[in-house]
Structure 1
Amino acid sequence: MSKNGIQVLANEALEAFERVETLAHEQLENTSQRDLSSSLAVLQSLTGNAALHNLESITDRKARDLLALMRTPSIARVAVEDSDGQTDIYYISRTTSIAVPGIKLASYRSDLGRLASLDVGDEEEFEIGNRRVWLRVLERLELRPYKDQHAWDSTPSVWYRESEVPVTIQSLRTATGPAANDGGFMAFLASGEADRNVVEGLTHQIRTAMALRDQAVLDKFQDEIFRLPLARQLIILGPPGTGKTTTLIKRLGQKLALESTADGEGRGESFSGRWVMFTPSELLKHYLKEAFGREGIAAPDDRIKTWSKRRHELARQVFGILKTTSGGTLILKEERQHLPSAVAQDPRDWFDQFRAFHQQRVAEALRQGMTTLQEVSPAHADQVVQRLAKLLPALDGGQLLGVYSELHDLEDVLAPLLEESRKKTDLWIDGEAGALFRQNKSVFNELATFLDSLNQPDEEEDEESEFDDDGGEEAVQRQSGNAAHEAFQVYRRFLQSYARSRFKGRRPGKASRAARILEWLGDRLPGDERLKELGEEMTLQNALRRFRNAWKRYVLDVPVSYRAFRRQCLSQGSFEYQRPESSAHVDTTELDAILLMMLRSARELMLQRFVQRRFDEAKFADLQRVAGLLQQQVLVDEATDFSVLQLACMEALTDLKTRSFFACGDFNQRVTGYGLRSRDQLEWISAKLEACSINTVYRQSRKLNGFAFELLTLMGGDLSAQAQLPEHSNHEGVPPVLAEQLRGQDVPSWLSARIKEIERTVKDMPSIAVLVPSEDQVKPVAEALNRQLETISMRAVACVDGQVLGDEGDIRVFDLQHIKGLEFEAVFFVGVDALAETKPEIFDRFVYVGATRAATYLGMVCEGSLPERLLPLRKLFVAKWG
């Protein structure tokens, strides 16, 4: 390893940084894009976090790309040899490239960008211009550009050469050597630093900030994954620190860039909003946004979602499931659990039975309609009835979607029959209401007051009543906030339903809302014969409406079907349901199931030809609204913390053509009782969903990686996900420390002592997290630790609910549940024994998650003794690092 060779290499790379930055700056100044002013503002702070956030806020793609190139001119330098023996040098940029005279610069997202991830000695075919060429990698230099005081450096860089141990160059600037004409004195001073500047193997870079690790270049296996075609579905499984999330983010960036290129320069932005990433916590969402910023991806809040928030939006604003002042039928009770844990953990059989029940129910509604039409339809409708009857065999054969297609073609015939009957009943009801009003001008105000006094939900016990009106399509809804008008609508619906019931010889239940209204009306009710006349017409309408826009029921009737399904299960004792306080109440698992059923049903319909042919028509507005939700790319971080139903909902939000769904997770890190549990659940989510494992970790020291493996073995985890350190890693680290029998002020005192040990060991204070087992301990522990740290001018910050981020250099105190996906140089786990008592089923998983957040330093504190299940690990701990 020649010092002169490293010096030449360093000088060349630093000169390339300068030239790329200069040209990108010139192009940015010459641009006339609309975001120029905000872009230039960033130039004053290119090396700080402010630049990162400004970059995220810039919506113009060209300005954003040029700024990203100025901030990171290159992430790799690769020497290659072609099939003719000619050698060349390629510099690879993170996201975009420009033509730089004398430098071959390629974007990592391009086909040539694969060079940055190949091993030395690999030979592959690449597309250069319109040619396919074979290139063999001779050497590779991974770069981490950094500009300080107008001078470029790369800190650190890793140089890979064939048949050589890779070397880590801590600073390229230092490797260039001292300035000339210094009489040799500067060389004398720099000699010691130079000796430490180049180290054999892969050295560990101490983490001084709380953020997702920046992995500019993926390894060869990650690179293959992120370049897979858009129309694929994959879940990446692997231990913490393997770059799973980074792979997802880089994949998104590459696909957005390809879409933009395919659509022509300047027109690709229409695609950039058609993606969403789901994450389990708001805290992780913040750091994901920073990671997106490094990749030049604008990531507004509505693109990175927690499922709980997206579920509420879908259920309330899109599908109208949850009650509002103007609609909806159900109320979400997040603190309740109506289903037993076994169903929440694996709801597949329960959901499949619900799906079959719903399909049977909507099919039965059509059968009943056919029977009724044969009884009450007028003679001139006989031909229509005969055509409908021919559909029964297909209905009995389970060909529901085919029946919907046939019914759609019959709607023009059904509409006149329905309109003729409805005019009669509207005239009849308006006449009865008018007579009441003339007798008493306040009658509907009085009815409104009475309805308020009932304190009963406006729920129809008679399920057939849903076919008594046109669902808001043709009927004029006169609800305007006027109580009397709304009372009249109740009166109208009551007469329709009651008259139909009387015609069929039925009466409302004694305790029902309808019975109370009937009692209030008393002798103001029309005579029995008049009611039966109305009832016959309403029965005809009820039957006809079952066939008009019948496909809508396949989607919109799902909430009603679920309530009927749950009633049946409760009466039969199926699935060990806990009876809800109200029939309108649902828990989160139930709401997820309803949403999934509606999404999947809507997707099925959108694929039918009768829908596709006339999709733009107003009648398909409900499906158009669902189509507007579908995303070009759906990504999921920490997928194993989501339930099977939730992941299936996310998959159902993918574009119908691409169905692009990429997720990542680790079964060993699942810390929710309902999370994804095994690979066999993946096929139920989607038959196209594949699983891929990656095992090389870039976070932990050798000692902590060994500790994590012992813990994984002890908890009976998935050992196929055992973490492997990169070859030539020299991050040995230190053993974890353990303190037992610590209470009260002894805990912050012990933590302070260990933190001081870390500070004496490292040059800059690294990122440190203190994990506690419950939210109510976050503030007290932070306050007590603060008093201990005053003497070394450090600050502990209470990250309440995972929302408070603190400043760089702060020690963060978290409830354990908020730290999935994050990493720190040092992690202290307080109250391990308390966690074992409060969460005995999954406490070891929490310990695994907490332990794998740490890169080098791990400490555990017990108020009593180490939990019995962890006793075999005692031999791996030491008392202190000093």
Structure 2
Amino acid sequence: MVEQQTDIKPLAGEVLENFERISSLAKSKLNEGAVAGTNAFASINTMTSNSTERLDQISSANRESYKVLSSEPAIARIMVADRAGGKKAYYICRTTAVSGIPNLASYLAPIGRLGSLEVGEEFKLPNGTVVEVLERSRLHPRLEHDGWDSRGTIVETEQIGPITIESLRLLLDAAGREEFTDDLLEQILAEENQKGNIIDGIRRSVITKMGLRDQPILDRYQDEIFRLPLDNRLFIFGPPGTGKTTTLIRRLGQKLDSAFLDDSEKRLVENVGSVLSHRDSWLMFTPTELLKQYLKEAFAREGVPASDLRIRTWYEYRRELARNSFGVLRTASGGGTFVLKDAIGSLGNDSLGRPIEWYEDFNSWQKISFMDSLVDSARFLAQSDIKTAQNLEGKVSRILTEMEKNGLVSTFESLAGLIPQIQELVGNLKEDSDKKIKAALNYQLNHDRSFLDEFARFLDGLQQAQVVDTDDQDDLEVDEEDDTSSPRTGRAAALSTYMQAVRAHARSVASKRSLGKTTRYGKIIDWLGDRILPESNRVEVGTSLLLQASARRFVNPVKRYIDGIPKRYRTFRRIRQEEGIWYQKEAFESRDLHPLELDLLLLSILRASTDILKRPNVQRNINNQPWTSLRPTLDLYRNQVLVDEVTDFSPLQLGCMSTLAHPQLRSFFACGDFHQRLTTWGTTTIDELKWVMPDFEVREITVAYRQSKQLNEFARGIIRTVHGEEQTVTLPKHVDNNGVAPALLEFADDEKVVSWLAERIKEIECFVGQLPSIAIFVNSENDVSRVAEALHEKLAESNIPVTACKEGQTVGQESNVRVFDVQHIKGLEFEVVFFVDIDKLATLHPQLFDKYLYVGTTRAATYLGLTCIDKLPSPIDTMREMFVTGWASLMVAS
């Protein structure tokens, strides 16, 4: 130990000296004020505005880097030697390095990989020089009243092998005392102090706060993954605590900063031409609001601003897409087809169990349905006695005969050349039909000038909620000309509605289909009575309108294809329900939609749009017909899309997320663990992931950093007992992984449970010397307050506060014991976890019980406690020998 101290003291002095130099330089840069930004130009004009924006971004990024460096100067020191024997020490920092400090490099830069290599490994520097790692020190800077220190520093050299130094400052102070004092007692006390300051191996740190663990330097496998090229499709899977989410965050942090992109990645970004800057063009999905908040904190540590616009839950994002981007869901202002209902019992077990087959059935059906409608429209044109319509039909039919072979996209491109001719035909027909309808309206106004006012009052009283939806109404309205600027009130609205209703009636007469009496137009026509087209004109005008509708299908076929998907789905659902496939036989409202049905619809829309947008000429001509309707999808694309806890999402949800990755980059990064899936509809196999993206690259990481040996073995035992599988997981080398066995209380009522919890918590505080991060998981929101209040009363004399975390919200101080509903446990980690009434959980969630138990168990780093109302439920009752009743005796023995 004395020799180790002698070897390390020069290193300690150098590290603390460099902390001061880096921090002081960063602070001076901050104090210099604004760096070149908008002040770089005398005036702002259209020629310099883009440059100004880039400079402002650089200025802001630099200031953020200086702030980080002033409080955390470096996170690692690596000594290397080249083949000629020359040695050099590199300091690695978390953010962009400040100029003026030799050999200071960002971990995100290529040279930052040195921080993840082990002693003895070789590395090729950017200049081509091959070096060998001689020493590696992982640093944890802390500015204290007497200067800089590094706490829990891990040092590894060719001769020393890894050791943990509690304080570099203490090491140097002791050296100073030895040099300047002859007091034998003081020397003896100093030596005793040093014994606790340097520890062989790597000591596991105690978790004292909720959140995602900070891992400044990744291991070599994680490091390799996050540095893979920007345009990769990656899925990382592995047991809890292996750093999957940390790797994902580190990758995003690096790929957002153009300074760390290689030349090929920079070219890709430049060619994309996103509406957002590359730094803002990303989106990350997470299953819960609670995990979303901790991800935002983790991003902040990496200097990545992560607003609610960037980190989203799929639940909120899909509703936004369906209402605002694609008009699938109804809004108060009108439009939309469906009403989202969380509790609707529409889906059968086969659609829940085989979502990919369900989607492919619908998508195939709706494509064929759309193509058939185009063929039917062409036939209607052929039946017309108008020569221009007949000529047009010949051209259209030649294109459609190749449709099945060439595909829809090529068909759309071919039809685009006919748009001017079709518009001319439709314009002439519309002018004539409108003239006849307005003549009928003028006739009514000549007899009663107040007619429009009276009609407007009737419309104001016609409540949309009282109108029954029918598919017949949709079939008639889908052919109406686009009129997004229709007035909504007053005479203008009355005129517009009159025209639409009379058109719908004329079409129904010509097609020999009646308007439903309970539909909106049915009620309007009933109120109008004979104040519509004369009977002699109805068939003629209706036939003209049907011809217009048939021709109009070729004016903007892309829009009709994409916008018609929700209504085609309603027809598909009705047909399959009658056949007893995918849907429950019981009746449900045709307008109501299950959330998983919304996923299917969004995937159909997004994939159909993306298939077209993949064509470079489509994106170039996005503002021209017939491609303008694809603009909403194009605006959704992001340069990077990331997914945390990927197995909690269904293949259809993941399919939607993957289509949001810009087609020219296809940068998609996901991480998760199949054993941690907490949804019945979540993704269960690699094959399902491959369906989402066939060229997914799968990487597995297996070193678990969170748990003690005992809890790791218990978690593996759950997998072995329930699934008969042997989990691939290892613990980190040279780390003190020893802990205590999980504790169990059986046959316990509420009072006994609370007393047992209180005793275990006090045991832990006594042993650790402080109150670590503690979570208690209960089976429902109703239990959260009840358990928290009872436990708070039991722990009051020890001044240990207990907080009820309703809906998974994190409230109270970090030192509080927290009580959660078990559904909010995903993604968190604590030093201590207790499960209350685990046998009741098995009854409430038989399908997911083993998942909840496994995920909950792996939230705990060192201490795990389970209580049962009765006894351990099957099948984990066979694991009884792995438990103890309490930890007091074990702690005394240790």
* TM > 0.5 fold call: yes
CA-to-aligned-CA distance 1:363-414 (integer Å, 9 cap, x gap): 1111011000001251134332221121121124362211110111110121
User: Is structure 2 residue 555 aligned with structure 1 residue 548?
Assistant: yes
State, as a whole percentage, how many aligned pairs show the same letter. 38
Q: 1:311 to 1:580 in 2, by over 3 A?
A: farther
Q: Which of the residues 706, 713, 717 maps onto 1:710? A: 717
AA at the equivalent of 2:143: K
Cα distance, 1:510 vs structure 2: 6.1
Mapped pair 1:28 → 2:30: yes
Distance in 2 separating the partners of 1:811 and 1:35: 47
Match of 2:382 in 1: 374
User: Greater shift after overlay, 782-791 or 440-449?
Assistant: 440-449
Contact 1:339 1:578 in 2 (8 A): no
Residue 48 of structure 2 is matched in structure 1 by none
User: What is the rounded CA distance, in whole Å, between the counterparts of 1:730 and 1:315 in structure 2?
Assistant: 51
State the partner residue of 2:243.
243
Is 1:355 the equivalent of 2:363?
Answer: yes
Q: Which 5+ residue runs of structure 2 have no aligned equivalent? A: 39-56, 268-272, 889-894
Stretches of structure 1 that go unaligned for 5 or more consecutive residues are 37-56
CA gap 1:336/1:59 in 2 versus in 1, 3 angstroms = farther
- The residue number in structure 1 matching 2:143 is 147
Residue of structure 1 in register with 2:683 after alignment: 676
Residue 452 of structure 2 is aligned to residue 456 of structure 1: no
Maintained 8 Å contact 1:345/1:675: no
- After superposition, the CA RMSD in angstroms is 2.4
The equivalent of 2:270 in structure 1 is: none
SS in 2 for 1:121: coil
Q: For residues 337 and 9 of structure 1, what CA distance do their matches in structure 2 show?
A: 67
Which whole-Å CA distance do the structure 1 matches of 2:834 and 2:479 have between them? 64
Offset, 1:439: 3.6
Residues 719 and 302 of structure 1: CA distance in aligned 2, closer, same or farther (over 3 Å): farther
* Contact 2:209 2:815 survives alignment (8 Å): yes
Q: Contact (CA 8 Å) 1:322, 1:331: kept in 2 or not?
A: yes
Distance 2:846 2:514 in 1: 54
SS class of match (2:402):
helix
Distance in 1, Cα, partners of 2:660 & 2:755: 50
Deviation string for 1:775-834 (max 9, x for gaps)? Answer: 110011111111011111110101100123321111110011112111000001111011
CA deviation string 1:55-113 (max 9, x = no partner): xx999211101111112111111111112221111111112112344x41111011110
Pairwise CA distance, 1:340: 2.3
Partner deviation per Cα, 1:27-60 (whole Å, 9 max, x = no partner): 1111314999xxxxxxxxxxxxxxxxxxxx9992
With 633-642 and 267-276 compared, the bigger mean Cα shift is at 267-276
Whichever residue aligns with residue 607 of structure 1, its letter is K
Over residues 624-643 of structure 1, what are the superposed CA-to-partner deviations in whole Å (9 max), with x where a residue is unaligned? 22211111111111111111
Give the one of 561, 566, 573 matched to 1:559.
566
Matched letter for residue 479 of structure 1? P
Q: Hey, what does 1:874 align to over in structure 2? A: 880
Q: Aligned residue for 1:570?
A: 577
Aligned length: 851
The residue aligned with 1:216 is 216
- Correspondence for 2:342: 334
Among candidates 428, 431, 434, match of residue 436 of structure 2? 428
2:611 to 597, 600, 604: 604
| C-alpha contact (below 8 Å) 2:467/2:518 kept by paired residues | no
622-631 vs 66-75, greater mean Cα deviation: 622-631
Contact 2:503 2:545 in 1 (8 A): yes
- Three-state SS of the structure 1 residue aligned to 2:569 is helix
Give the TM-score normalised by the residue count of structure 2.
0.91
TM-aligned CA deviation for residue 415 of structure 1? 1.1
**Contact 2:34–2:59 at 8 Å: present in 1 too?**
no
CA 1:526–1:381: 2 relative to 1, 3 Å: closer
Kept after mapping to 2: 8 A contact 1:833/1:867: yes
Separation in structure 2 between the aligned mates of residue 337 and residue 195 of structure 1, nearest angstrom: 67
Give yes or no for the alignment of 1:11 onto 2:22: no
The answer to whether 1:733 aligns with 2:739 is: yes
Contact 2:477–2:504 (Cα < 8 Å) also in 1:
no
Distance 2:660 2:252 in 1: 16
Q: Is the deviation greater in 159-168 or in 566-575?
A: 159-168
Q: Which amino acid aligns with 2:555?
A: R
Distance 1:299 1:613 in 2: 31
Q: Distance in 2 between matches of 1:457 and 1:408?
A: 37
Cα deviations by residue, 1:230-260 (Å, 9 ceiling, x for unpaired): 0011111011100000000000010111368
- Summarize the Cα distance change of 1:177–1:650 in structure 2 as closer, same or farther, 3 Å threshold: same
Of 279, 286, 296, which residue of structure 1 is paired with 2:293?
A: 286
**Matched residues in 2 for 1:808 and 1:869: separation?**
36
CA contact (8 A) 1:19 1:100 kept: no
Q: Which residue of 2 aligns with 1:308?
A: 315
For structure 1, which segment, 86-95 or 214-223, has the greater mean C-alpha deviation from structure 2 after superposition?
86-95
Q: How far apart are residue 730 of structure 1 and its match?
A: 1.4
Q: Is the 8 A contact 2:338 2:592 kept in 1?
A: yes
Q: Paired residue for 1:44?
A: none
2:419 paired with 1:419? no
**Residue 408, structure 1, aligned to residue 407, structure 2:** no
Counterpart of 1:853 in structure 2 is 859
Q: Which moved more, 1:255-264 or 1:133-142?
A: 255-264
Whether the 8 Å contact between 1:738 and 1:878 is mirrored in structure 2 is yes
Matched with 1:88 is: 88
Q: Does 1:137 align with 2:133?
A: yes
Q: CA deviation at 1:446?
A: 5.2
In the alignment, the residues of structure 1 paired with residue 494 and residue 748 of structure 2 have an alpha-carbon distance, to the nearest angstrom, of: 67
Q: How far, CA to CA, are the matches of 2:489 and 2:640 in structure 1?
A: 41
Residue of structure 1 in register with 2:205 after alignment: 205
Q: TM-score, normalised by structure 1?
A: 0.92
Deviates more, 1:195-204 or 1:587-596: 195-204
* Counterpart pick for 2:157 among 153, 161, 167: 161
> 1:68-107 to 2 correspondence within 5 Å?
68-101=68-101, 103-107=102-106
- 8 Å CA contact retained: 2:703, 2:732: yes
* Matched AA of 2:440: E
- The aligned counterpart of 2:167 is 171
Cα displacement (A) at 1:684: 1.0
User: Could you tell me how far apart the structure 2 residues matched to 1:515 and 1:485 are?
Assistant: 21
TM-superposed deviation, 1:458: 5.8
Q: In the superposition, relative to structure 1, how do residues 35 and 811 fare at CA in structure 2: closer, same or farther (>3 Å)?
A: farther
Quote the offset at 1:512 in angstroms.
5.1
Higher mean C-alpha deviation, range 551-560 or range 696-705:
551-560
Note closer, same or farther for the CA distance 1:33–1:333 as it changes in structure 2 (3 Å cut).
farther
Q: Structure 1 residue 138: deviation in Å?
A: 1.2
Change (3 A) 1:481 1:146: farther
Whichever residue aligns with residue 879 of structure 1, its letter is: T
Q: Deviations over 1:99-154 (max 9, x none)?
A: 344x4111101111000001111112220xxx211111112111111222252222
Secondary structure at the aligned position of 2:128 is classed as strand
- In 2, Cα distance between equivalents of 1:709 and 1:467: 57
> Runs (4+) of structure 1 moved beyond 6 Å?
260-264
Which one is further off, 341-350 or 762-771? 341-350
Instruction: Find the aligned partners of 2:525 and 2:553 in 1 and give their Cα distance.
Output: 27
AA aligned to 2:382 is Q
| Equivalent-residue separation in structure 1 for 2:858 and 2:223 (angstroms) | 24
What are the Cα deviations for residues 671-716 of structure 1, in whole angstroms up to 9, with x where unaligned?
1111111111011111122221101011000111111111111120
Contact 2:778 2:821 in 1 (8 A): yes
Q: Judge conservation of contact 1:447–1:487 (CA < 8 Å) in 2.
A: no
**2:278 maps to what in 1?**
271
- Mapped to 1, the partners of 2:260 and 2:361 lie a distance apart of 44
2:50 matched residue in structure 1: none
Deviation of 1:481 after TM superposition, in Å, equals: 3.5
2:657 maps to 1:655: no
Contact 1:369/1:544 (8 A) holds in 2: yes
Contact 1:569–1:577 (8 Å) recurs in 2: no
- 1:646 maps to amino acid: Q
Are 1:745 and 2:762 counterparts? Answer: no
1:192 equivalenced with 2:198 (yes/no): no
Which amino acid in the other structure matches residue 222 of structure 1? Q
Letter in 1 for 2:290: L
* Residue in 2 that maps onto 1:394: 402
Q: Tell whether the 8 Å contact from 2:35 to 2:59 is kept in structure 1 after alignment.
A: no
